[in-house]
Structure 1
Amino acid sequence: MIVVSTFWQSNFAPVEEMGEAVLVSNVNGAIPDDFPEGVYIRNGPNPLFGGLKSTNSMFGRSSHIWVEGEGMLHAVYFNKDSGGSWTICYNNRHVQTETFKLERGRQKPSFLPAIKGNSPAILSAFILNMLRFGKINKYISNTNVFEHSGKFYSIAESDLPQEIDIVTLETLGNWDINGAWKRPFTSHPKKAPVTGEMLIMGVDAKKPFFELGVISADGKRLLHKVDLNLSRCSLCHDIGVTQRYNVIIDFPLTLDLNRLIRGRPIGVMPRYGDANSVCWFDVKRSSAFHVFNCFEDGDEVIMWACRARGSIIPGPDLGLEKHEWFSRGFKHTRSVENNSDNPDGLFFSRAYEWRLNMTTGEVVERNLTGTEFSMDFPMINENVMGVKNQYGYSQVVDSTASSTSGMAKYRGLAKLYFEEPELGSSAEPLLSPSSEVSMKMMVGSSDSYTMKTLMYLSCLILQVYRVDTKKFSSEPVATITLPRRVPYGFHGAFMPLSSPRSTR
């Protein structure tokens, strides 16, 4: 028996497709004249047939988890006419993977949940899904969007990317690099500086557990693929790139806090290296899902990422009941760095630096921010990916202000922060490209923008901020109310386009 979970409520609840782009007229303030034409696009789970599913059978219970809803793209189009006036449109649409089309054609839930629950129920779900549909689980494509060589893709790391028509949001099909890549694909591919090649990885539950690939700048060829010969499957959500190296973040899943990330979870290898060329580094036990940037500094490779002591993914630990485990994990404490066995503050992530010496093998680690807030979903100007940059942006939660959401901007060790107590965030901050960018640093930063989606009651409020290098104002230059609520989601991007959407 398949049932719909009651957990999927409030702003987790799915919304209906718009069908086509609609004009947005509720705009307070003004879009700056030098803002680039383009599309702000966000991806996130939007379950088909009304919510998450679970099963009850003679084998026990299995259920989806909240990250598993089918992907839906939410797009806001910015188009400027010859007179300088802005037209803004909004559209949303499901990512139509093969399994999405299969279930929609059957007009009912068809795949048995196979992630969480009793082991016999999960195993039987795997087997039955494979026998019925040739796949052990659905392809959800709900995590991120990216561009390569003028084409646009939706992605979740459980499967191949889906090519997307950025104007209509139509799904055009799988992208397997002309048949050369037939395994999972990272949610956070990275473009190498100078060459424009794309660095990818694929993590799987069966051997080979981890393969790394390099795609040509034109997106037509897989130039390099290598099995790193890992001995187990790890949770590798992000990857780093510099001018010469690939940075591998190999954080294994474990329920034992005392063994969490013990060993050598960060590896650096030449762009076209093999498994034997990886330099693995011993670091303090920790977990890092998202990377700000990686770059080279003499003999060192520097990685900036959001680091927590433990991972939220494994589940209850240390004999604690699930609710208590989560509550203590998000409890603020200033001593979290000094007591590694204390579950308090286990999930608080902060900007962190690893300096990895490629000559001596030594590592120098340091926390770049204070202990009063948690941060994740980092963002930089992608034009400086892989080279030394000045500024990073993230979503933050201030523990001293009742889970206040906001944005933080970093230059070196300086923190600039503003609070928005009445608003709840639904996405990461996003940068539109600045026209003044060098390969050494982002310059003219006051001419770039941070775009952030903020929820207020049942309406999506998209706010456009002008970012100043000396002051981070909490006042938006434009506030856009969209015609459709946007559920909580994951990652997105601002894609510069020429005349991205004509007005109907």
Structure 2
Amino acid sequence: MASSGLQFHVHCSIQKPSTSSPGFDHFKSTLSSAFKPFWKEIQQLPLRIDAGVKNNSRSLADAFVDSVFEFVDQPLLPSQSNFAPVDELEAGVRVADIGGEIPDDFAEGVYIRNGPNPMFGALTSTSSMFGSSSNTWVEGEGMLHALYFCKGPKGRWTVVYKNRYVETDTFKLEKQRNKPSFLPTIEGDSPAVLSAYLFNTLRFGKVNKEMSNTSAFEHAGKMYTIAENHKPQEIDILTLQTLNEWDVNGAWDRPFCSHPKKAPGSGELVIMGIDATKPFVEVGVISADGKKLLHKADLKLNRCTLCHEMGVTQRYNVFMDQPLCIDLKRLVGGGPLIKYEEEGDARIGIMPRYGDADSIQWFKVKPNCTFHLFNCFEDGDEVVMWGCRALDSIIPGPEKGKNKFDWFSRKLRPIKSRTGGSISEDELVFPRPYEWRLNKRSGGVKERNLTGTEFSMDFPFINEAFIGVQNDYGYCQLRDSIASSASGMVKYGGLAKLYFGEQNPESSLREDEGLIKVEYHMLEKNTFCSGAVFVPKDKGVEEDDGWVITFVHNEDTNISQVLIIEAKSFTSKPVAKITLPCRVPYGFHGAFRPILQLQNQILSPKIPSLNSRIPNSMSRS
């Protein structure tokens, strides 16, 4: 069988071939070398094979995969039980168990959170004559968990919970097959990952699965889910039904980064998308009504930096070019697909809203790995960027051959108190709030930590009315380093409120000078949060007039809740604790969308009212 210049023979057999025979060992060891002469062909593989493969070729490739590749579930430890998936509910459920009171002036609307929920019960690995490849901890089909806050005519609150899978094309394909079908493509032996690319493309016309499991955002009145590996999926916010993928009427042909930004003033959506082949990174500007791609530019980077987020100011787009890179050439040479290059350079680019690569002003900064930003804004000649900065990446995980649990357990330990000096290698994935000041006139850069080493902080968020303009407050999730290290998975045991304009009154040591004031809201013992967002008060006057809302799970009771915390009384107890009818696994990013008169749209006689939790038969445990 031949396709797109890559030729190989498929031999079907009832028994799986021995992986220890000299012929297979030679084939495995030389597969990467065999790909090198066809480097340009590999770059064009998804497009060309998708157009040329016929049904009989797919059948032969399916038979080969079924014969040669073995899928194995990745096990979870008891301390990782709330990372396990749950079943999809058939309908929404009215929630009656509410401790405290939902404030009268809380916004009517939908609180939604995205996160991975592997369809067949677990992340998978495969083994074959090519070696092994595995899903990483950030993979798994996306599932939305939504809480609907409906206010009746007499001011009484009704709360409804729903969950639903994000049904991408690849989700539907595997659901129809009723078994894991896509070979893992992110980490593993180079020949195994390359063969996964090849056989996924031959069988499905796609290199890998479309997860859409990371975040949710709104633009022009529509709601979308997103992840770095595919275009956004439009969803019906009332039913959580997946409608279609969004390519801006055919004008955008690559994924979005997980955190596009609305430009202050214009309401235009600034997006960025990466690709493993040139052009590596492109930026786009979408009209405020979502109908037209107004601008598109290639940043002309010489590497594919894994850009999870970007920033905007009133006039500029802000990009991070950091040494966490996707490199197909490295993969073909036997190395990992994704790697943080310890000796690599980092820089931040500032580009006019409708600029091109030649208009970008680049600022060299200290090497770092920053996945998430609080905000960017202009301050005189400076552009200021606040984010959660680490010195290494926790994605994808350890190099081949290292024990995953041991690696994550070491990396997630608390940082030991010290009065100075550098941190150890095992403390490099400790993100904490950080400031960059980029002077456009002089070209100079000022950098500093905003907080100390008591807590690692990530998943930052702000009052979104202040995106792109100077703000006083930021919020983020606090990593419980002890629980995270013990489980080998990241867990967040509290929340933080940052006062960017106020100095920490307890700063006394010399290295603490300049650290900012932080307030903490710690959760109950063995309770961890995800998807926290800020919900502004409808007629609020000040920036922090509103609430922080978050999903939490108590691992001792196996009960999931949603907490509402008053932002101005951040250290006080939650004003409301909403106990959910079933377990909600830990996930990634959340969003809140105000919707008026929601009760008329969401409530129906078909929605049951439950005072107790859904039986265990409806919730995987």
Q: TM-score, normalised by structure 2?
A: 0.76
Q: Pick from 440, 451, 454: which aligns with 1:369?
A: 451
- Asked if structure 1 preserves the Cα contact closer than 8 Å seen for 2:390 and 2:428, the reply is yes
Asked if the contact 1:233/1:252 (under 8 Å) is kept, the reply is: no
Rounded Cα–Cα distance in structure 2 between residues aligned with 1:260 and 1:51: 32
Q: Quick check: 2:564–2:577 contact (8 Å CA) kept in 1?
A: yes
RMSD (CA atoms): 2.3
Q: Post-superposition shift, 1:502?
A: 2.1
2:463 to 376, 381, 395: 381
Out of 62, 74, 93, the residue aligned to residue 5 of structure 1 is 74
Please, which of 479, 485, 493 is the counterpart of residue 577 of structure 2? 479
Q: Tell me: CA distance 1:398–1:43, structure 2 relative to 1, closer, same or farther (3 Å).
A: closer
2:561 corresponds in structure 1 to 461
Displacement after TM superposition at 1:120 (Å): 1.0
Secondary structure of the structure 2 residue equivalent to 1:3: strand
Match of 2:342 among 218, 239, 260: 260
Name the CA distance, whole Å, in 1 between partners of 2:374 and 2:151.
Answer: 31
For residues 450 and 306 of structure 2, what CA distance do their matches in structure 1 show?
Answer: 24
Map Cα deviations across residues 342-361 of structure 1 (whole Å, 9 max, x no partner).
31321111111100001111
Picking from 436, 457, 461, the partner of 1:354 is 436
Report how far residue 474 of structure 1 moved. 3.4
Identity %: 56
- 5+ residue gaps, structure 2, are 1-69, 326-335, 485-490, 501-515, 606-621
- CA gap of 1:337–1:398, structure 2 versus 1, over 3 A, is farther
* 1:131 Cα deviation after fit: 0.3
Per the alignment, residue 448 of structure 1 pairs with: 546
Match in the other structure for 1:119:
190
Instruction: Give the aligned partner of residue 106 of structure 2.
Output: 35
Counterparts of residues 420-459 of structure 1 (less than 5 Å): 420-436=523-539, 443=542, 445=544, 447-456=545-554, 457-459=557-559
Q: Structure 1: which 5+ runs fail to align?
A: none
Q: Which moved more, 1:55-64 or 1:426-435?
A: 426-435
Counterpart among 322, 327, 333 of residue 416 in structure 2: 333
Cα deviation code 1:160-184 (max 9, x no counterpart): 0000000000000110000000111
Structure 1 partner of 2:356: 274
C-alpha distance in structure 2 between counterparts of 1:128 and 1:404, whole Å: 38
Alignment of 1:49-448 (within 5 A): 49-253=120-324, 260=342, 262-313=344-395, 315-316=397-398, 323-331=405-413, 332-334=415-417, 338-339=421-422, 342-397=424-479, 405-412=493-500, 413-436=516-539, 443=542, 445=544, 447-448=545-546
Aligned residues: 496
- Structure 1 match to 2:39: none
Q: Residues 119-178 of structure 1: CA distance to partner in whole angstroms, max 9, x if unpaired?
A: 111111110010000001110100000000100001111100000000000000110000
SS in 2 for 1:130: helix
Q: Are the counterparts in 1 of residues 494 and 529 from structure 2 also a CA contact under 8 Å?
A: no
Distance 1:444 1:290, change over 3 A: closer
- In 2 relative to 1, CA 346–397 (structure 1 residues): closer, same or farther, beyond 3 Å? same
Answer yes or no: is the 8 Å Cα contact 1:333–1:344 preserved in 2: no
Residues in 2 aligned to 1:169 and 1:190: alpha-carbon distance in whole angstroms:
23
Q: Which amino acid aligns with 2:312?
A: V
Q: Is the 8 A contact 2:493 2:529 kept in 1?
A: no
Counterpart of 1:299, as a letter, is D
Bigger Rg over Cα = 2
Partner of 2:594: 496
| Alpha-carbon distance in structure 2 between the residues aligned to 1:146 and 1:258 | 28
CA contact (8 A) 1:261 1:287 kept: no
Worse overlay, 342-351 or 85-94: 342-351
Shift of 1:57: 1.2
Partner of 2:29: none
- Verify the 8 A CA contact 1:286 1:308 in the aligned structure 2: yes
TM-score by length of 1: 0.93
User: 1 CA distance for matches of 2:469 and 2:449?
Assistant: 20
Q: Distance in 1 between matches of 2:72 and 2:339?
A: 34
2:494 is aligned with what amino acid? G
Quick one: structure 1 residues 377 and 101, their matched pair in 2 at CA, closer, same or farther if it must change by over 3 Å?
Answer: same
Q: 2-side partners of 1:423 and 1:436: how far apart? A: 36
Report the Cα offset of residue 227 of structure 1: 0.6
Contact 2:492 2:528 (8 Å CA) reproduced: no
Q: Hey, what's the Cα distance between the residues in 2 that align with 1:401 and 1:208?
A: 41
- Partner secondary structure for residue 105 of structure 1: helix
Kept in 1, the 8 Å contact 2:322–2:345? The answer is no
CA contact (8 A) 2:214 2:258 kept: yes
